[in-house]
Amino acid sequence: MRNMHLPFSGEPLAGLQILGLLETRTLDFDNVILLSANEGVLPRHTDKPSFIPFSLRSGFGLPGPDHEDAIYAYYFYRLIQRAKNVTLIYDCSTGGLRTGERSRFLHQIFYEMSLSVSEINMTASIARIPVKPIAIPKAGRVAEKLFLYKSDNGKFLSPSAINEFLNCGLKFCLHHLLDLPQPVEVTEDIDARMLGNILHRAMRILYARFISTMVTKTQLEPLLKDGQHIDSALDKAFAEEFYGEDEKDGDRKIEGYNLIIRQVIQTYIRQLVRADLESGPFGIVSLEEKHLISMPISVNGKRWDLNIGGVIDRIDSRQGDIVIIDYKTGTVKNNFSTIESLFHAEKQLRNEAVFQVLLYAHIYSRLKPGQTVIPGLYFIRGSHSDDFSYLIKHGAKREVVASYASVKQEFEDWLTQSLTEMFDERIPFTQTSNPRLCTFCAYKAICRR
């Protein structure tokens, strides 16, 4: 933009006149205020390219940069010659290409002329405004929205909403109760979230043919061999998830970087099918179906029945047991230290994936009492390894959680306690004390963390 020139035009005898320094040559002013009296601006730094070297220019008396500086010096001194008051302002801040140096003309005025000069330094005082903690009381609109989770309303608390509350009460409140939108980045390329969505949808499309049947090697091997079913499920998932509802026919061509992502997802799907092939046979009970329960809690002597639920990626039946499966595309772990650690985020990062699948197992075992329910996580990135297992493990000894029943009581107690705290009107929604949770939070600017 520095090289741009903007011509001004106007009637010289009417209104405000905008002139260049050149046009001031025949005008005298009583008051002159010059902004940007910095070296490089006054005189303007000129670097006109020329084939004639400087020594030849000066040898033959041709005009050069020094000549240009002399012209500027003339304009400047002529302008202030008859002025009564001259104010010269320069910026002493440095940064980028700015040196913060005052103009050579100012030095001349200071050291070579016997003018009366008064110098004023102006600084803007910058002070850190103390960051105050934010707490939102459970009253008014917040309380109204919160109590919509009671079971006589349609709203339900999903594992991700509860996860958000356990990580940071304020974030849960801003997101779910005050509906403060989290910025969604619209990109031409696929991000990690979109990759997960496409994979989930493609798996649902691919396995829909197996619902209520027994899935064996005979059914899975052809999927891997000809690859046609995987490809068409993937293209359909791409069209629905990435290109939107109106692209359901899958006609749009996947190009560029997205083609690489398609290849990655295809590899993941093949890994999953192979892992299923090794661990089969199994039956598919449901795919991406919503499951809801009503959970009683008692808050300050009042009983609330809360709606809790969510969409479970996949439910298998294996040797008479039910396996709750959640696909995970990120870098997550399938082990956790204690059940209590899943409910406290103050010191470490909670294992949200394990919490989510245990909550699904809790919901399902409430819906089907007496049924053995096994929580399982499919870590897509680890599904190619020989020792891949969907089972979750806990404690220092990494003991397998072979049935949700083994942790049910403890999990339910902590869950009830956390939900009671969520609905206790005496406890406001506050910020997390674990700053690691703020790193990628959309509300960082509000909290100034």
Which region, judged by CB under 6 A, interacts with ligand SF4, from 151-159, 327-335, 358-366, 436-444?
Answer: 436-444
CB of 355 to ligand SF4, least distance (A): 17
Peptide bond into 281 cis (omega under 30): yes
Ranges of beta strands (E only) in 170-281 are 214-215
Pick from 102, 138, 171, 291 the residue near ligand SF4 by CB under 6 A.
171
Whether 284 and 315 have beta carbons less than 8 Å apart is answered as: yes
437 in contact with ligand SF4 (CB under 6 A): yes
Which are the contacts of 170, defined by CB distance < 8 A and separation ≥ 6? 134, 135, 136, 429, 430, 431, 432, 443, 447
Task: Name residues whose C-beta falls within 8 Å of residue 68's C-beta, 6 or more positions apart in sequence.
Answer: 43, 46
CA-derived radius of gyration, the chain: 35
Among 271, 351, 383, 431, binds ligand SF4 (CB under 6 A): 431
Is residue 233 a contact point for ligand SF4 (CB under 6 A)?
no
Cα–Cα distance measured from residue 34 to residue 73, given in angstroms and rounded to the nearest whole number: 14
Residue 317 or 418 with smaller CB distance to ligand SF4:
418
Binding segment (CB under 6 A) for ligand SF4, from list 145-153, 154-162, 218-226, 434-442:
434-442
Task: Give min distance, CB of 167 to ligand SF4, in A.
Answer: 7
Binding test (CB under 6 A) with ligand SF4, winner from 37, 168, 190, 401: 168
Q: With contacts defined by CB under 6 A, name the span among 22-30, 316-324, 381-389, 439-447 that binds ligand SF4.
A: 439-447
Residue 438 is a binding residue for ligand SF4 (CB under 6 A): yes
Residue 441 lies near ligand SF4 (rule: CB under 6 A):
yes
- Residue 215 or residue 437: which is nearer to ligand SF4 going by CB? 437
Of 170, 272, 297, 377, the one binding ligand SF4 by CB under 6 A: 170
CB of 359 to ligand SF4, least distance (A): 21
Question: Using CB under 6 A, which of the segments 73-81, 224-232, 302-310, 430-438 binds ligand SF4?
Answer: 430-438
State in angstroms the smallest separation of the CB of 242 from ligand SF4. Answer: 28
Could you tell me if 265 and 195 are in contact, meaning their C-beta atoms sit under 8 angstroms apart? Answer: yes
**In this structure, are strands 373-379 and 282-299 parallel, antiparallel, or unpaired?**
unpaired
202: Cβ–Cβ under 8 A, 6 or more apart, which residues?
230, 233, 234, 236, 237, 238, 265, 269
355 is an interface residue for ligand SF4 by CB under 6 A:
no
Stretch that binds ligand SF4, among 94-102, 136-144, 163-171, 416-424 (CB under 6 A): 163-171
Per rule CB under 6 A, count of chain residues that contact ligand SF4:
12
Contact 312, 364 (CB under 8 A): yes
Cα separation of the two ends of the chain: 35
Q: Which is closer to ligand SF4, CB of 351 or CB of 432? A: 432
Examine residue 163 and tell whether it contacts ligand SF4 (CB under 6 A).
Answer: no
- Using the rule CB under 6 A, is 447 a contact of ligand SF4? yes
Structure tokens at 32: 């002159």
**Of 254, 202, 277, which is closest to residue 232 (Cα–Cα)?**
202
- CB burial readout 188-206, b (16+ within 10 A) else e: eebeeebbbbbbbbbbbbb
Distance, CA of 263 to CA of 329 (rounded, Å): 15
C-beta closer to ligand SF4: residue 18 or 135: 135
Least distance (Å) from ligand SF4 to the CB of residue 241?
27
- Does 432 bind ligand SF4 (CB under 6 A)? Our answer is yes
SS3 content of the chain, % helix, strand, coil (to 5): 40, 20, 40
Residues in contact with ligand SF4 by the rule CB under 6 A:
168, 170-171, 431-432, 437-438, 441, 443-444, 447, 449
